[in-house]
């Protein structure tokens, strides 16, 4: 995920910016840059590590005001041109977030004569600032100050942003603003810092002011900060003292990256569907899919290829593509796909799901499928990864960097992407009405808030995890869409807590595994309401009859379930097709707190790697 930093003070800005960017490295990035203002703007940017950026900086850069950025590519490749800061004349800007209407703005700015150098959404901000400052590309006289130019620019932006801007004709001031992306100001002694999170300046000050959505701040040399709301009215803000140690802060205060990443899901899910759905029209817009309606209508089969957690997401995808779009779907693990049948692929669409885009088994299987003539698309989280260079089209999840080995936010954002894709196919193939599609999209938009509700109530899940953390075996059961969620719940638990755990289709227990159940075996039953709910209740009774402990994941308004189980972990009521996303957040927390109780190495479990690049 991108990170922004800014400094206004009396010390040389360059070294402070570089140091602050290093503190944001944990967020993950592919390029970095800084811009320092003295008489003019001096900009330095490059791909790769911050060490690369340091190596191109000249000695003794003068200037005590500057901005900096670490970039995690979303729009456009990770290269030097696309890295920030972006410039327009004597204006420089850094940005974290996604400008959803950038194409529309870009077209207008090009019409006004602005020339775009990068493929990023951010560059429109730089040109908009310039056009407000000077009245257009050829303007010479300043029409307003930077603060006003930022306020005017924000009026045209849709999407999320935390920005910091400089202008050499308005020296001594940095303007920052935010909407739906984090931004915090650090108040030092005669110096002010701005950053995506406090880790960036914690060694200089613990006195901070959190910028709220739609607020703009003008920061001047001498330590003067003024805040304004969306209507330009001055706002009085409270300074808070942060009680963090720098070591903790590298994980933004979370004990583990996994916990941090679980908590990021409300926003990563939102970012993944942002700008891609119109619930008014019941439409999903996935231009990057690059498939004609004709091709979508003639598709006869979908072949999903993935490994591990991504494979579990693929199994959810199978239900979605079959139920919503009426397309027969097979799901194979990358490592097994090639030993099956030679696929004759005229009308078959291959979908590779891989967070990293680097999993060797998945890559090899996709190469095989393409050699049969299959059209292949990838769902991945990493811009520029190997799969993106070997595929017909790419759908990016916008989870941001996932550092913990256990996949969490990458899984839920994969589910969101599959859901959007299935809806798009369903509409084009005439399988669902615009009205039904609208309802499903309205339900989708509610998911980030529902995830947040689960996170707010995580204590209950922690208690449950503690109660059963000594168990040697766990079972996870579910039916229909909740069956892959049972598999994923078991995978999460086993990989980080080292407890033997099995995921089962609930109806299959009686064909063997029931023999293993004792009063020492917790069985997690995913029993959210849906067309298999009654059958799940029967399975739960079967389990209880063998004295096993049952932990149910159930809707918050389900009062029936309490009669049959030992513990209920609640999820907000949601559409049957979307509740798996919510249940998986509960199961991630259950696994996390179990591993925590057992003192396991949560972010780096034994024998496992984040990205498996060998077959």
Which residues are CB-contacts of 224 (< 8 A; sequence separation ≥ 6)? none
Strand partners, 195: 5, 184
Q: For the CB of residue 470, give the shortest distance to ligand M6R in the complex, in Å.
A: 23
> Closest CB to ligand M6R among 109 and 307?
307
What are phi and psi for residue 8, nearest 5 degrees?
-135, 115
Q: For the CB of residue 365, give the shortest distance to ligand M6R in the complex, in Å.
A: 11
Q: For the CB of residue 71, give the shortest distance to ligand M6R in the complex, in Å.
A: 21
Euclidean distance between CA atoms 299 and 409, whole angstroms: 30
What is the b/e burial string over 245-280, where b = at least 16 CB atoms within 10 angstroms of the residue's CB? Answer: eeeebbbbbbebbbbbbbbbbbbbbbbbbbbbbebe
> Closest CB to ligand M6R among 357 and 522?
357
Which residues are CB-contacts of 528 (< 8 A; sequence separation ≥ 6)? 482, 553, 554, 555, 571, 574, 576, 579, 582, 583
Residue pair 74/4 in contact by the 8 Å Cβ criterion: no
Length of the chain in terms of residues written: 615
Q: For the CB of residue 492, give the shortest distance to ligand M6R in the complex, in Å.
A: 6
CA-closest candidate to residue 549, choices 526, 571, 517: 517
> Closest CB to ligand M6R among 291 and 403?
403
Q: For the CB of residue 395, give the shortest distance to ligand M6R in the complex, in Å.
A: 14
> Closest CB to ligand M6R among 1 and 53?
1
> Closest CB to ligand M6R among 250 and 361?
361
> Closest CB to ligand M6R among 99 and 382?
382
Q: For the CB of residue 359, give the shortest distance to ligand M6R in the complex, in Å.
A: 3
Our CA angle for 555, 561, 567, nearest 5°, is: 85
Q: Is 569 helix (H, G, I), strand (E, B) or coil?
A: strand
Euclidean distance between CA atoms 356 and 333, whole angstroms: 16
Euclidean distance between CA atoms 269 and 404, whole angstroms: 18
> Closest CB to ligand M6R among 131 and 355?
355
> Closest CB to ligand M6R among 13 and 353?
353
**Using omega within 30 degrees of 0 as the cis cutoff, is the peptide bond preceding 85 cis?**
yes
> Closest CB to ligand M6R among 43 and 385?
385
Tracing tokens 């209950």 back to the chain, one arrives at 460
Q: For the CB of residue 489, give the shortest distance to ligand M6R in the complex, in Å.
A: 11
- C-beta atoms surrounding 60 within 10 Å: 7
Joined together, the tokens standing for residue 99 give 């400008």
Q: What are the residue numbers of the active site?
A: 2, 610
Euclidean distance between CA atoms 84 and 393, whole angstroms: 26
- C-beta atoms surrounding 58 within 10 Å: 8
Euclidean distance between CA atoms 175 and 226, whole angstroms: 10
Q: For the CB of residue 307, give the shortest distance to ligand M6R in the complex, in Å.
A: 4
Side-chain half-sphere of 332: how many Cα atoms within 13 Å? Answer: 23
**Which 8-state DSSP code applies to residue 99?**
B
Packing angle, helices 409-428 and 579-597, rounded to 10:
170
SS3 readout for 166-186: EECCCCCEEEEEEEECCCEEE
> Closest CB to ligand M6R among 230 and 364?
364
Residue pair 125/157 in contact by the 8 Å Cβ criterion: yes
Residue closest to ligand M6R, measured at CB: 308
Largest CA distance in the chain: 83
Residue pair 43/35 in contact by the 8 Å Cβ criterion: yes
Q: For the CB of residue 605, give the shortest distance to ligand M6R in the complex, in Å.
A: 9
Euclidean distance between CA atoms 110 and 401, whole angstroms: 32
Q: For the CB of residue 363, give the shortest distance to ligand M6R in the complex, in Å.
A: 9
**Which 8-state DSSP code applies to residue 432?**
S
**Burial (CB count within 10 angstroms: exposed 0-12, middle 13-18, buried 19+), residue 283:** middle
Which residues contact ligand M6R by CB under 6 A? 307-310, 354-356, 359, 362, 405-407, 495, 611-612
CA-closest candidate to residue 22, choices 55, 44, 54, 62: 54
């Amino acid at each position: 995920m991108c990170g922004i930093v800014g400094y206004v003070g009396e010390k040389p800005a360059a070294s402070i910016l570089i140091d602050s960017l290093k503190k944001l490295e944990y967020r993950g990035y592919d390029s970095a840059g800084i811009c320092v203002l003295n008489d003019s703007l001096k900009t330095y940017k490059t791909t790769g590590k911050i060490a690369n950026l340091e190596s191109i900086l000249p000695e003794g850069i003068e200037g005590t005001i500057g901005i900096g950025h670490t970039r995690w590519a979303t729009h456009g490749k990770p290269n030097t041109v696309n890295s920030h800061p972006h410039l327009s004349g004597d204006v420089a800007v850094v940005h974290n977030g996604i400008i959803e209407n950038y194409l529309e703005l870009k077209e207008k700015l090009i019409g006004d004569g602005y020339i775009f150098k990068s493929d990023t959404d951010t560059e429109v901000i730089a040109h908009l600032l310039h056009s407000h400052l000077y009245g257009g590309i050829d303007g010479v006289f300043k029409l307003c100050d930077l603060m006003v130019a930022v306020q005017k620019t924000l009026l045209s932006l849709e999407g999320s942003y935390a920005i910091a801007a400089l202008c050499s004709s308005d020296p001594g001031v940095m303007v920052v603003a935010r909407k739906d992306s984090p931004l915090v100001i650090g108040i030092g002694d005669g110096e002010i810092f701005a950053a995506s999170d406090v880790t960036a300046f914690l060694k200089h000050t613990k006195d901070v002011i959190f910028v709220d959505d739609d607020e703009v701040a003008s920061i001047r040399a001498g330590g003067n900060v003024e805040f304004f709301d969306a209507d330009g009215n001055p706002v009085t803000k409270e300074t808070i003292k942060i009680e963090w140690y720098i070591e903790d802060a590298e994980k933004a205060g979370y004990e583990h990256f996994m916990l941090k990443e679980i908590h990021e899901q409300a926003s990563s899910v939102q970012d993944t569907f942002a700008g891609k759905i119109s619930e008014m029209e019941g439409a999903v817009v996935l231009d990057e899919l690059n498939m004609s309606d004709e091709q979508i209508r003639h598709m006869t089969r979908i072949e999903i290829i993935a490994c591990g957690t991504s494979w579990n997401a693929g199994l959810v995808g199978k239900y979605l593509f079959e139920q919503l779009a009426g397309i027969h779907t097979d799901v194979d693990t990358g490592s097994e796909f090639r030993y099956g049948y030679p696929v004759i692929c005229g009308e078959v669409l291959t979908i590779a799901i891989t967070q990293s885009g680097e999993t060797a088994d998945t890559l090899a299987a996709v190469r095989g499928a393409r050699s049969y003539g299959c059209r292949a698309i990838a769902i991945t989280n990493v811009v520029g990864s190997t799969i993106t260079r070997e595929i017909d089209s790419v759908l990016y999840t916008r989870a941001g960097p996932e550092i913990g080995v256990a996949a969490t936010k990458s899984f839920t954002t994969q589910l969101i992407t599959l859901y959007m894709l299935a809806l798009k196919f369903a509409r084009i193939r005439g399988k669902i009405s615009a009205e039904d599609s609208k309802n499903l999209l309205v339900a989708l938009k509610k998911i980030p808030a529902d995830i947040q509700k689960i996170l707010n109530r995580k204590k209950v899940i922690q208690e449950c995890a503690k109660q059963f953390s000594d168990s040697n075996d766990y079972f996870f059961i579910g039916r229909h869409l909740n069956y892959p969620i049972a598999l994923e719940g078991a995978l999460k638990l086993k990989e980080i807590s080292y407890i033997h755990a099995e995921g089962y289709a609930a109806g299959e227990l009686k064909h063997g595994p029931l023999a293993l159940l004792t009063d020492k075996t917790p069985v997690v039953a995913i029993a959210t309401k849906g067309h298999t709910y009654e059958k799940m209740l029967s399975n739960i009774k079967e389990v209880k009859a063998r004295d096993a402990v049952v932990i149910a994941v159930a809707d918050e308004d389900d009062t029936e379930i309490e009669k049959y189980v030992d513990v209920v972990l609640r999820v907000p009521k949601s559409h049957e097709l979307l509740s798996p996303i919510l249940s998986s957040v509960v199961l991630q927390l259950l696994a996390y707190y179990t591993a925590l109780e057992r003192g396991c190495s949560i972010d780096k479990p034994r024998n496992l790697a984040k990205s498996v690049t060998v077959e």
